[in-house]
């Protein structure tokens, strides 16, 4: 019986659409999100079957349906790379949908449209990953962008939400502009828009270079590389939390997927490509986390962290590309492996963080963390999941964040060879850069968790907070379990990544396509130098990961038993509670605690030149000062110094043209006469 | 043939020079009649049914009906003289002669050798087109603009006739009908313009333009710019 | 052959008749039936007539088939909208919301008659095979549409009508000169200016005269089509006219002028001068897109914004035809897509105007809140007109981009993409500011006639983006072959 | 053989409080006073474990779990440390990265526990701790990179075991530079004088001490014991790097290692006695200086 994998996958993608449309139609608004959520669960369940089978090994044959658009054809396929990128969608989307139903329960606006567009977003992302034709890819790409735009502007009463929607739509469309030229050029080279033919097109190095730059710009806008990330910190906070969880955790990964898919078509990469991605990764990472440190809006802080994690992914992929260029298999396997695994890890803990932030915003009603504090006492469940996610995103051991960063470190250090200075520079970039990003991320999330959940409530918002309902806590619990699960089952996770790495390396001609095959004995790779050492590096990586997993489990057990010892040690003596040590100050208030900006002030001063933080406030004056205020804003540097002046420049350049339409009919008649005379002169000249 | 073309040139020069509008209407009427007669003279004797009807209908429409409409509009709006146009009357005449030279240069530039094309009619037609265009661009009064359009159409018609073009009868009639209805509509519009605006100056009709209002492109950028 | 004559004479007769029908109800009934009949006639004509016509004056090849069905479809939509629109217009005097002057509407019979005559003129222009006859028809469309523009008879629409009439008439006079020069290109002395005759003699046409004729007709019909430096009348005319009329002007009338240029380009390609015409068209195309983008950027009036977007899309059409090859297919597909989307947008703009009583984009907020259906249509139309994927316009714009790159014209490709993005950025600011947010005007039930036609057009635009119906695809490929383009 | 290897971490767990005792004795000797006995920390630990604990009202479970997480991390970190050629019980490629991140986890736990109490002093300490950690981490990795460049990337035990007299002859400069860089790191991480004052009484100037201000009883015991383990880890790293164990016979290596540790402690005590605390703005310069030391070592290695 023909392997019906693809048909099942397409069916899985269409079910949410149908039920979404049904949700849009029904009159009673309260059940609309639940119907749509059921659609997402059903769809993802069905689609998960072919995806898992593709990952395990049996890739379903590609499906081809005729489509009479010029150059278009509905071809769908599911290889290792697409299947792996489907995982985060299939995991996060249903959970966020369930969370969303409860999150929007008290909303008075009709919920039909938001649940419909949520389903469209999920379905378009899944179909996008399976699309194997340029035109189809672009159509699905923009459907994804537009449906997420409608989700971002859901509560459009506030002016800043409209502004964020505008920035998001313009940025994503400019990115798509680059993609248009990219696919048109690729189509011209391979004179067909099908990915299979494009992969075989012979490209001259300069053309491949141009295509790479276009791909970085086009997909970088969606992924959020530093100069192109401007829309990210605007759009994600504006969207409802379960949507920003899906967007930040999963949608920006389609940018990474697109970049990798194009890389498979550009043939042998040059070292310059690897270096560009490494540099972008470093800048995005360090500046991303620096900006996150300076924020005191919880969701904006998390959005900047998406930029930082995309930087880490770019660093991994850059290392992989350099490995391909220098023909170093260990860099290729571990670099790409670490980068792509971080995609899954980031999807899990970032969506968990956004759901947690949503719970906080839902019960306190404000996003400014300087007004929160002490929420752990009233929102225990959310606090536990939030601290797990914070530890995971900072890359701390027992959790999944550490695994992918560990792989990238392994790539960097094991690739070092004294005679090749390039590898050393790469190792410095990864060693120094990633360590600094890890340190700053830990600082930022200590601040975020500490200021929001720990200490005394700083305002009335925080005191009246109460725990969110079960429907919101269960998805968070599942995601937290996933964080710990991937952390402790690292070797299995890496095995999942390797088919994707295999697909990415299939692009460059000299790398044999079989980097790693489950079950194939090592001897099979003897003949190619490339195969053997790649396989060897994978075995060492597996051994290291086993070591890490052992230590992590022992760490957990040890911590728990130490905690138990600690509780039963003073069984006789009772515990007393007093006030915190305040050096004998007469009237300590909750506002004297460390706030977000003060906590991060030493670090943000280091990055003063990039951040451009603006400090306003009235200093206390007189002998008995009444009131003093202090406030910091950190506008996005790229927006302030790059895009706003650029738009104003274009605007000023075009204004003289506008004087042409002045309303005087006589000059309009002159225009016609002048054009006629000019054309006649031009014709006489050319004849 | 040459007499008609000379009269055509004279009438255009007269239009360039004169400032009184009712005189201008009468000159345009004469031009209409001249053009009505032109095909009859052109075909020298074998006047077919089509050519006859065509000539007659041109004379009636351009010679009588349109001028009557224009003068009615003139009486209603009570305008006596063309106020100071962009290019004064004296300099207009100078420009007229320059345009005549240009028309001569264009006529011989085209080297119409193959058919026996009356050069002088071609020159006068091109001169009529250029004069019409010049009048339209320089005069302020809307009525003058419609008259200038009529002169330009006569010029184009003249070029057609001089190139010994004989379109099928319906097409010729269609062209004439279009021109007639065009000018008739302009007249109708002039009535409305006169009722709505107190003046009929075309150069004051500048309310529709993109200069005045403009919206900020980037709201956020505008505030803190 | 009879069918084609009927499509022209029926609306003409109905138009003249409706001048004299006093009772509104009867006249609207006539208007509706004629519109429906015209659509039925044109569809049967397209399906039945296979053989291209010989030397008759009225004939239908695949190019005119597309435009005829498109025009009658748009006219039906405008009619359904127009009947509701006219019924709601107050007969007594009303206050102009711009400058507060009092004005009275044109009598409804003149309006209906004008629209029907416009349809007749357009059908004649599309179906005529004799170039001079086509000229007469296009001039007739100008004359028929002029009184429609000053239907509201306030100061601004009168001024717009005056400029429209003067500029278009001068432009078309230049086109007439072009036709006379075209007559001179025929060496063997025959006076037959039908398309078939010209195409037969294409090899022997005198190239010097043909290029002059092409320039004159390009400038003439270009003014009527709204190509860049000649477009000055378009924003005034399309923004001041009542919505059904501006929908017809933007959707169908510009296509007729475009058809005029296509006929000349057809002759030029047959005579082997395709590159001469092509370069000019590409120049005008890019100029139109650039200028239109500049004006859209800070536009304060949303109907003028739509008019400028029409100028931009006419630029895209000219660019597509100028490229030849795949560009031709893209250009004709774009003509279909653009007409449908622009008609929908103008009708929705009409709804917004009738509810908010102002054209200033800064004063309008929360259209989606006040008029839910029109708001949704307004955003869908915006996404369609800027060429976002799920809609047909993206497919055609992408095909044109592929054509530009296929010919390796890097500068044109870069400019093309930049101007598209410029127009997008400009329109986003305006449309989103209007559509989103909370509106002070309370929500009201929108009349069905005002909402049905734009909804149908929206569904059509979406359909064209996802699936290209068979007959339309074949007609488009045949049309591309007519002008020497490649098929698939 | 594996059982023998476990003696390394066990001795670390037993002897680490002794190390702090040595430092205090050295400081007392310099100050001319008799000073507490070397075993003082053992007495303190024993006393604290008996006491009841007092918690502030504004704290939650985080402060209760903090100390046990920190102690678990430190204990596990010591299992990775080799003694010269004596291999550590746990060794795999990249275990040094895990070591660094275990220290990171411990630091994360302490900072969270500090913020839990909601006092502005602990917040200040946490903020400074986090700043210095972010700067210290890169210098640790760059120092390690020099090792990797020199001996090829593998487990810490294998890399360190190859340091011998020859390596000192050929690249002595390298080892001294990285040794100094890691020594500065030791002073920073364990809050020794030039960076932070372990026994100051002014909360505003402390960094590490202020974070543990609100602990009492068994929690304080866990924290002090973890601090001593941390001192052992950093000292072991410096000793392994500097002392050329490879050219000695295996039996001599254990006592030599312990002697090296005592010498490092004395060195720390001397440094604490002769130097005064630096101003807070200077400390980032110190940390970046240590990173530069490793960078210079790298460049020397590449050029040489």
pLDDT of residue A282: 93
SS3 of D85, please? coil
Could you count the other beta carbons within 10 Å of the beta carbon of residue B224? 9
**CA-CA distances (angstroms) from residue A291 to A195, A229, A302, A571, B67?**
38, 12, 10, 47, 77
Q: What is the pLDDT of residue A470?
A: 85
Average pLDDT over chain A reads 85
Name the residue facing A166 among C330, C432, C470 (closest C-beta): C432
Half-sphere CA count of C217, side-chain side, radius 13 A: 30
Rounded CA separation C239/C310 (Å) = 11
Determine the Cα angle at C204 with ends C203 and C205, to 5°. Answer: 100
A594: pLDDT strictly greater than 60: yes
Residue A142 has its nearest CB partner, among C163, C389, C399, at: C389
Whether residue C377 lies inside any domain: the answer is yes
Q: Is residue C273 part of a domain?
A: no
What are the structure tokens assigned to B30, written together?
Answer: 């004469």
Q: What are phi and psi of D68, to 5 degrees?
A: -70, -35
CB-based contact B214 A658, cutoff 8 Å = yes
CA distances from A595 to A372, D119, D130, D204 (A): 9, 11, 15, 17
List the one residue out of D192, D164, D163, D207 whose CA is nearest residue D270: D192
In this structure, the number of other CB atoms found within 10 A of the CB of residue A590 comes to: 16
Query: Of A532-536, A571-575, B149-153, C51-55, where does mean pLDDT reach its minimum?
Result: C51-55
Which region among C75-79, C392-396, D187-191, D198-202 has the lowest average model confidence (pLDDT)? D198-202
Residue labelled with tokens 């009542």? C242
Indicate the pLDDT class of residue A529, thresholds 50, 70 and 90: very low
* Rounded Cα–Cα distance for residues D176 and A7 (Å): 65
A547 and D73 within 8 Å at the Cβ level: the answer is: no
Inform me whether the C-beta atom of residue A420 falls under 8 Å from chain D C-beta atoms. Answer: no
A119 has a pLDDT exceeding 90: yes
Backbone angles phi, psi at A74, to 5 degrees: -80, 80
Neighbour-count burial of A211, counting CB atoms closer than 10 A to its CB (0-12 exposed, 13-18 middle, 19+ buried): buried
Contact flag A432-D138 (C-beta cutoff 8 Å): yes
Suggest the residue from D109, D127, D212, D219 to mutate for an interface test with chain A (most A CBs closer than 10 A).
D127
Q: State mean pLDDT over C464-482.
A: 85
φ, ψ dihedrals at C324, nearest 5°: 75, 180
H/E element, A618: strand A614-618
C-chain residues near B149 (CB < 8 A): 166, 169-170, 173
Is A455's CB within 8 Å of D71's CB?
Answer: no
Q: What is the pLDDT of residue D175?
A: 87
Q: Establish if A272 touches chain C: CB-CB under 8 angstroms.
A: no
Tell me which of A382, A442, A571, A603 to substitute to probe the interface with D (most D C-beta atoms closer than 10 Å): A442
Pairing type for strands A576-578 and D54-56 reads parallel
Out of A163, A651, A661, name the one closest to residue B210 (CB): A661
d(CA C405, CA C413): 6
Residues A545-563, mean pLDDT to the nearest whole number: 90
Q: Average of pLDDT values for C353-366?
A: 85
**Maximum pairwise Cα distance, chain C:** 71
pLDDT for A590: 73
Q: Is the pLDDT of residue A195 over 60?
A: yes
C388 and C399 in contact (C-beta within 8 Å)?
no
Helix (H) or strand (E) holding D56: strand D54-56
Of A644, A658, A669, the CB nearest to B136: A669
CA dihedral C232, C237, C239, C243 (to 10 degrees): -150
What are the tokens at B23?
């005189």
Which of A656, A669, A671, A675 is the best substitution to test chain B (most B C-beta atoms within 10 A)?
A669
What tens digit of pLDDT does each residue of D84-118 get? 888 888 888 888 899 999 999 999 999 988 888 87
What does the CA dihedral A419, A423, A424, A429 come to, rounded to 10 degrees? Answer: 170
- Pull the structure tokens for residue B1: 């043939």
Residue numbers of the domain that contains B100: 2-205
* Listed ranges A136-140, A603-607, A612-616; the one with the highest mean pLDDT: A136-140
The predicted pLDDT at position B107 comes to: 79
Q: Which residues fall within 8 angstroms of residue A202, CB to CB, at 6 or more apart?
A: A189, A267
**β partners of residue A629:** A618
Q: Which residues of chain C are within 8 Å of residue B177 when distances are taken between CB atoms?
A: 136
Distance CA B206, CA C160 (A): 10
What's the pLDDT at C239?
87
pLDDT score, position B80: 67
Question: How many C-beta neighbours within 10 Å does residue A523 have?
Answer: 8
pLDDT of residue A318: 93
Degrees, nearest 5: CA angle C339-C345-C348: 140
Nearest to A669 among B137, B217, B219 (CB): B137
Evaluate the CA torsion angle A321, A324, A325, A331 in order and state its sign: positive
Which parts of chain B have pLDDT scores under 50? 114, 220-225
How far, in Å, CA of C385 to CA of C369, rounded? 22
CB contact under 8 A, D126 and A450: yes
**C394 pLDDT band (50/70/90 cuts)?**
very high
**CB A665 within 8 Å of CB C169:** no
Interface residue of D57, D59, D68 to substitute, partner A, most A CBs within 10 Å: D68
Q: Which of D49, D121, D222 sits opposite A583 (nearest CB)?
A: D121
Q: D273 lies in which domain range?
A: 2-303
Give pLDDT, residue A357: 92
pLDDT at position D93 is 85
- What is the tally of structural domains in chain D? 1
**Cα–Cα dist D19/D180, whole Å:** 20
The DSSP-derived string for D234-269 is HHHHHHHHHS-GGGS-HHHHHHHHHHHHHHHHHHHH
Note the ipTM here. Answer: 0.88
- The H or E element containing residue A291 is helix A271-294
* DSSP, res A630: E
Query: What helix, strand, coil percent values describe chain B, rounded to 5?
Result: 75, 0, 25
| Chain A nearest-CA residue for C434 | A162
Compare B17 and C373 and report the one with higher pLDDT. C373
Which range of A285-289, B144-148, C406-410 scores highest in mean pLDDT? It is A285-289
Q: Radius of gyration (Cα) for chain A, nearest Å?
A: 27
- Tell me which residue has tokens 């009486």: B75
User: Would you say C227 and C254 are in contact if contact means Cβ atoms under 8 Å apart?
Assistant: no
- At residue A37, φ and ψ (nearest 5 deg) are -60, -40
Contacts of B48 (CB under 8 A, 6+ apart): none
- Verify D-A touch: 3 or more CB pairs within 8 A: yes
The pLDDT, as a whole number, for residue B217 is 58
Q: Do C465 and A661 count as a contact with CB atoms less than 8 A apart?
A: no
Return d(Cα A474, Cα C292) in angstroms, integer.
Answer: 53
Total domains present in chain B:
1
Question: Can you tell me the distance from the alpha carbon of C161 to that of C151, in angstroms, rounded to the nearest whole number?
Answer: 10
- Tell me the shortest Cα–Cα distance from C478 to chain B, in angstroms: 30
> Which letter does DSSP use for residue A5 in this model?
H
Q: Are D112 and A446 in contact (CB under 8 A)?
A: yes
Which residues of chain A make contact with C367, given a CB cutoff of 8 A? none
Q: Cβ contact (<8 Å) for A644 and B221?
A: yes
Cα separation, A351 vs A357, whole angstroms: 10
Read off the tokens for C383: 């996404």
pLDDT digits (tens, 9 = 90+) for A459-517: 888 788 888 888 888 999 999 999 999 989 888 888 888 888 888 887 665 544 444 54
- Given a cut of 90, whether residue C287 has pLDDT beyond it is yes
The predicted-structure confidence for A298-350, as pLDDT tens digits, reads as follows 999 999 999 999 999 999 999 999 988 888 888 888 999 999 999 999 999 99
If you count DSSP H runs as helices and E runs as strands, how many of each does chain B have, helices first? 9, 0
More confident residue, C82 or D152: C82
* Res A127: pLDDT: 93
Q: Is B222 helix (H, G, I), strand (E, B) or coil?
A: helix
Report the alpha-carbon distance of residue A232 to residue A291 in Å, rounded.
12
Q: Is residue B214 part of a domain?
A: no
DSSP A372-396: ---TTTT-HHHHHHHHHHHHHHTT-
Q: Which of C390, C468, C480 should one mutate to test binding to chain A, selecting the residue with the greatest count of A CBs within 10 A? A: C390
Give Cβ neighbours of residue C229 (< 8 Å, ≥ 6 apart). Answer: A671, A674, A675, C287, C291
DSSP 8-state class, residue A468: P
Identify the weakest region by mean pLDDT among A332-341, C11-20, C85-94, D26-35: C85-94
Structure tokens at B193: 């313009």
Smallest Cβ–Cβ distance between B189 and the set C158, C173, C183 belongs to C158
Chain A neighbors of D46, CB-CB under 8 A: none
Nearest CA in chain A to C208: A687
Asked whether the beta carbons of residue D141 and residue A569 sit closer than 8 angstroms, the reply is: no
Residue A384 touches partner C, C-beta closer than 8 Å: no
Chain A interface disruption, residue of D46, D75, D94, D189, most A CBs within 10 A: D94
Nearest to A661 among B145, B202, B209 (CB): B209
Q: Per the structure, how many domains does chain C have?
A: 1
Sort strands D54-56 and C94-95 into parallel, antiparallel or unpaired. unpaired
* Smallest CA–CA distance from C295 into chain A, residue: A658
**CA distance to A191, C1, D179, per residue, from C476 (Å):** 21, 22, 78
What's the rounded Cα separation, in Å, for the pair A49 and A284?
Answer: 36
Closest-CA residue of chain C to B216: C298
Instruction: Note whether A424 contacts D: Cβ–Cβ < 8 A.
Output: yes
Q: How many residues are present in chain A?
A: 687
CA separation, residue D101 to residues A319, A392, C384 (Å): 21, 12, 52
The confidence score (pLDDT) of residue A684 equals 75
Residue A214 pLDDT > 90 = yes
Show the tokens assigned to D97: 């990265």
Among chain B residues, the shortest Cα distance to C237 is held by B208
Nearby residues of C143 by Cβ (< 8 Å), 6 or more positions away:
B178, B181, B182, B185, C121
% of chain D beyond a pLDDT of 90: 15
Please state, for a pLDDT cut of 70, what percent of chain C lies above it: 95
pLDDT at A578 over 90: no
Q: What is the pLDDT of residue A513?
A: 42
In sign, the C-alpha dihedral spanning D208, D211, D214, D215 is: negative
Give per-residue pLDDT as tens, B137-148: 888 888 888 888
Comparing CA positions, the residue from A461, A440, A239, A463 lying closest to residue A355 is A239
CB contact under 8 Å between D137 and A598, yes or no, is no
Asked whether residue C296 carries a pLDDT value surpassing 70, the answer given is: yes
Retrieve residue C247's tokens.
Answer: 């929908």
Q: How far apart are CA C473 and CA C468, in angstroms?
A: 6
- Cβ atoms of A632 and A644 within 8 Å: the answer is no
């Amino acid at each position: 019986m023909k392997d019906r994998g693809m048909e099942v996958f397409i069916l899985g993608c269409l079910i949410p659409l149908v039920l979404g449309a049904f949700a849009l139609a029904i009159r009673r608004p309260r059940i609309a999100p639940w119907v749509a959520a059921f659609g997402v669960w059903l769809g993802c369940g069905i689609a998960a079957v072919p995806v898992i089978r593709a990952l395990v090994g049996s890739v379903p044959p590609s499906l081809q349906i005729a489509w009479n658009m010029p150059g278009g054809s509905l071809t769908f396929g599911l290889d290792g790379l697409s299947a792996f990128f489907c995982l985060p969608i299939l995991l996060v989307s249903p959970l966020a949908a369930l969370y969303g139903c409860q999150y929007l329960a008290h909303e008075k606006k009709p919920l039909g449209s938001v649940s419909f567009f949520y389903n469209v977003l999920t379905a378009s992302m899944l179909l996008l990953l399976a699309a194997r034709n340029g035109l189809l890819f672009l159509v699905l790409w923009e459907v994804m962008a537009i449906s997420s735009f409608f989700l971002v502007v859901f509560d459009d009463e506030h002016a800043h939400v409209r502004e964020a929607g505008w920035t998001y739509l313009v940025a994503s469309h400019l990115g798509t502009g680059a993609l248009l030229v990219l696919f048109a050029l690729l189509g011209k080279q391979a004179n067909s828009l099908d990915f299979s033919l494009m992969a075989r097109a012979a490209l001259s190095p300069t053309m491949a270079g141009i295509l790479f730059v276009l791909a970085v710009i086009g997909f970088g806008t969606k992924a959020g590389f530093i100069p192109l990330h401007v829309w990210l910190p605007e759009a994600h906070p504006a969207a409802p939390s379960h949507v920003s969880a899906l967007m930040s955790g999963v949608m920006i990964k389609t940018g990474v997927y697109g970049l990798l898919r194009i890389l498979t078509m550009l043939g042998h990469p040059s070292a310059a490509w690897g270096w560009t991605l490494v540099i972008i990764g470093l800048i995005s990472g360090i500046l991303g986390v620096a900006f996150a440190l300076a924020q005191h809006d919880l969701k904006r802080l998390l959005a900047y962290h998406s930029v930082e994690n995309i930087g880490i992914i770019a660093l991994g992929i850059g290392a992989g590309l350099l490995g391909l260029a220098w023909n170093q298999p260990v860099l290729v396997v571990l670099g790409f492996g670490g980068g792509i695994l971080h995609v899954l890890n980031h999807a899990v803990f970032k969506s968990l963080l956004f759901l947690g932030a949503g719970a906080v915003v839902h019960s306190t009603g404000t996003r400014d963390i300087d007004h929160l504090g002490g929420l752990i006492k009233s929102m225990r469940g959310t606090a536990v999941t939030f601290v797990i996610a914070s530890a995971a995103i900072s890359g701390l051991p027992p959790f999944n964040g550490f695994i992918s960063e560990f792989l990238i470190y392994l790539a960097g250090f094991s690739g070092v060879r004294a005679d090749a200075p390039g590898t050393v520079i790469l190792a410095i970039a990864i060693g120094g850069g990633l360590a600094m990003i890890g340190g700053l991320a830990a600082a930022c999330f200590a601040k975020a968790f500490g200021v929001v959940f720990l200490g005394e409530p700083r305002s009335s918002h925080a005191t009246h907070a109460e725990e969110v309902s079960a429907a919101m806590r269960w998805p968070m619990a599942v995601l937290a379990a996933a964080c710990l699960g991937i952390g402790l089952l690292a070797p299995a996770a890496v095995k999942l990544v390797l088919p994707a790495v295999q697909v990415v390396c299939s692009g460059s001609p000299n790398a044999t396509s079989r980097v790693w095959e489950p079950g194939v004995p090592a001897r099979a790779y003897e003949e190619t130098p490339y195969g053997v050492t790649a396989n060897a590096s994978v075995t060492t990586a597996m051994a290291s990961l086993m070591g890490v997993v052992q230590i992590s489990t022992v760490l957990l057990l040890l911590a728990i038993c130490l905690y138990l010892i600690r509780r039963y040690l003073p069984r006789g003596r009772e515990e007393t509670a007093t006030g915190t040590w305040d050096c004998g100050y007469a009237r300590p208030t909750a506002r004297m605690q460390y706030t977000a900006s003060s906590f991060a002030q030493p670090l943000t001063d280091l990055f003063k030149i990039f951040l451009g933080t603006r400090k306003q406030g009235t200093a206390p004056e007189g002998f008995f000062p009444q009131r003093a205020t202090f406030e910091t804003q950190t506008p996005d540097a790229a927006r302030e110094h790059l895009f706003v002046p650029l738009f104003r420049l274009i605007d000023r350049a075009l204004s003289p043209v506008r004087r042409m339409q002045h309303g005087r009919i006589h000059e309009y008649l002159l225009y016609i006469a002048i054009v006629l005379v000019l054309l006649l002169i031009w014709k006489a000249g050319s004849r | 043939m040459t007499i008609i073309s000379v009269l055509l040139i004279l009438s255009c020069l007269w239009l360039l020079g004169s400032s009184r509008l009712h005189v201008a209407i009468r000159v345009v009427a004469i031009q209409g009649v001249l053009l009505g007669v032109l095909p009859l003279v052109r075909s020298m004797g074998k006047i077919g049914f089509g050519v006859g009807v065509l000539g007659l209908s041109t004379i009636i429409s351009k010679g009588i009906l349109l001028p009557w409409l224009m003068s009615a509009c003139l009486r209603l709006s009570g305008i006596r003289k063309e106020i100071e146009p962009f290019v004064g009357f004296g300099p207009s005449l100078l420009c007229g002669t320059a345009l005549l030279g240009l028309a001569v240069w264009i006529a011989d530039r085209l080297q119409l050798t193959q058919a026996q094309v009356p050069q002088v009619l071609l020159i006068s037609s091109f001169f009529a087109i250029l004069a019409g265009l010049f009048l339209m661009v320089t005069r302020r009064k809307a009525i003058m603009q419609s008259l200038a359009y009529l002169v330009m159409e006569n010029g184009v018609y003249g070029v057609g006739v001089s190139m010994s073009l004989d379109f099928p009868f319906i097409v010729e009639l269609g062209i004439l009908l279009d021109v007639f209805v065009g000018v008739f509509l302009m007249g109708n519009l002039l009535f409305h313009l006169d009722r709505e605006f107190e003046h009929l100056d075309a150069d004051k009709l500048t309310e529709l333009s993109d200069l005045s209002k403009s919206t900020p492109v980037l709201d956020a950028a505008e505030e803190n710019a | 052959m009879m069918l084609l004559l009927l499509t022209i004479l029926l609306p003409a007769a109905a138009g003249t008749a409706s001048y004299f029908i006093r009772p509104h109800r009867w006249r609207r009934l006539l208007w509706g039936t004629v519109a429906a009949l015209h659509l039925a006639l044109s569809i049967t004509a397209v399906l039945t007539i296979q053989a291209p016509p010989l030397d008759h004056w009225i004939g239908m090849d695949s190019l005119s088939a597309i435009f005829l069905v498109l025009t009658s479809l748009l006219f039906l939509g405008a009619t359904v909208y127009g009947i509701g629109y006219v019924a709601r217009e107050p007969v007594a005097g009303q206050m102009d919301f711009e400058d507060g002057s009092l004005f009275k509407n044109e009598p409804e019979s003149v309006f209906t008659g004008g629209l029907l005559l416009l349809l007749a003129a357009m059908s004649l222009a599309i179906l005529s095979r004799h170039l001079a006859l086509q000229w007469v028809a296009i001039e007739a469309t100008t004359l028929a549409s002029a009184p429609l523009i000053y239907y509201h008879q306030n100061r601004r629409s009168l001024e717009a009508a005056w400029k429209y009439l003067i500029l278009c008439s001068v432009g078309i006079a230049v086109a007439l000169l072009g036709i006379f020069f075209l007559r001179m290109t025929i060496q063997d002395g025959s006076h037959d200016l039908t398309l078939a005759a010209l195409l037969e003699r294409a090899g022997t046409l005198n190239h010097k005269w043909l290029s002059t004729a092409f320039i004159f007709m390009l400038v003439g019909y270009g003014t009527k089509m709204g190509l860049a430096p000649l477009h000055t009348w378009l924003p005034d005319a399309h923004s001041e006219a009542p919505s059904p009329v501006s929908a017809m002007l933007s959707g169908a009338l510009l296509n007729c002028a475009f058809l005029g240029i296509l006929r000349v380009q057809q002759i030029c390609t047959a005579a082997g001068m395709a590159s001469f015409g092509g370069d000019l068209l590409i120049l005008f195309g890019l100029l139109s897109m650039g200028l239109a983008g500049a004006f859209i950027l800070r536009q304060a009036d949303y109907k003028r914004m739509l008019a400028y977007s029409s100028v931009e899309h006419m630029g895209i059409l000219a660019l597509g035809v100028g490229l030849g090859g795949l560009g031709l297919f893209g250009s004709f597909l774009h003509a279909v897509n653009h007409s449908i989307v622009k008609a929908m947008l103008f009708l929705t703009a009409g709804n917004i105007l009738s509810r908010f009583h102002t054209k200033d984009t800064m004063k309008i907020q929360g259209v989606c809140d006040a008029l839910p259906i029109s708001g949704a249509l307004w955003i869908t139309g915006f996404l369609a007109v800027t060429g976002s994927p799920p809609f047909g316009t993206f497919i055609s714009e992408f095909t044109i981009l592929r054509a530009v790159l296929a010919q390796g014209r890097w500068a044109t490709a870069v400019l093309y993409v930049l101007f598209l993005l410029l127009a997008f950025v400009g329109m986003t600011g305006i449309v989103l500011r209007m559509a989103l947010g909370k509106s002070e005007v309370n929500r009201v039930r929108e009349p069905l006639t005002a909402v049905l036609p734009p909804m149908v057009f929206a569904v059509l635009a979406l359909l064209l983006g996802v699936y290209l119906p068979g007959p339309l695809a074949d007609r488009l490929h045949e049309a591309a072959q007519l002008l020497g383009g490649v098929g698939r | 053989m594996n059982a023998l290897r476990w003696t390394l971490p066990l001795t670390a767990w037993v002897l680490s409080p002794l190390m702090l005792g040595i430092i205090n004795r050295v400081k007392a000797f310099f100050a001319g006073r008799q000073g507490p006995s070397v075993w003082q920390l053992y007495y303190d630990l024993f006393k604290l474990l008996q006491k009841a604990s007092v918690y502030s009202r504004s704290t939650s479970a985080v402060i209760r779990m903090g100390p046990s997480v920190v102690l678990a991390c430190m204990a596990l970190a010591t299992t990775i440390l080799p003694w010269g050629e004596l291999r550590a019980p746990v060794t795999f490629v990249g275990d040094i990265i895990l070591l660094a991140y275990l220290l990171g986890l411990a630091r994360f736990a302490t900072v969270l526990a500090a913020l839990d109490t909601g006092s502005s002093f602990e917040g200040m300490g946490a903020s400074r701790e986090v700043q210095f950690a972010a700067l210290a981490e890169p210098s640790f990795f760059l120092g390690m990179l020099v090792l990797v460049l020199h001996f090829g990337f593998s487990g810490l035990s294998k890399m360190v075991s190859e340091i011998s007299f020859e390596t000192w002859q050929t690249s002595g400069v390298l080892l001294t530079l990285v040794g100094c860089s890691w020594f500065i790191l030791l002073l920073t991480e364990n809050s020794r004088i030039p960076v932070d004052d372990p026994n100051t009484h002014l909360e505003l100037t402390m960094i590490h001490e202020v974070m543990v201000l609100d602990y009492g009883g068994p929690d304080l015991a866990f924290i002090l014991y973890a601090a001593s383990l941390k001192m052992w880890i950093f000292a072991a790293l410096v000793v392994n790097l500097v002392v050329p164990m490879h050219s000695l016979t295996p039996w001599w290596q254990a006592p030599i290692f312990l002697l090296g540790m005592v010498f490092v402690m004395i060195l720390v005590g001397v440094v604490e006695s002769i130097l005064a605390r630096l101003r807070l703005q200077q400390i980032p310069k110190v940390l970046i200086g240590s990173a530069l030391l490793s960078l210079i070592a790298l460049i020397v290695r590449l050029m040489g």
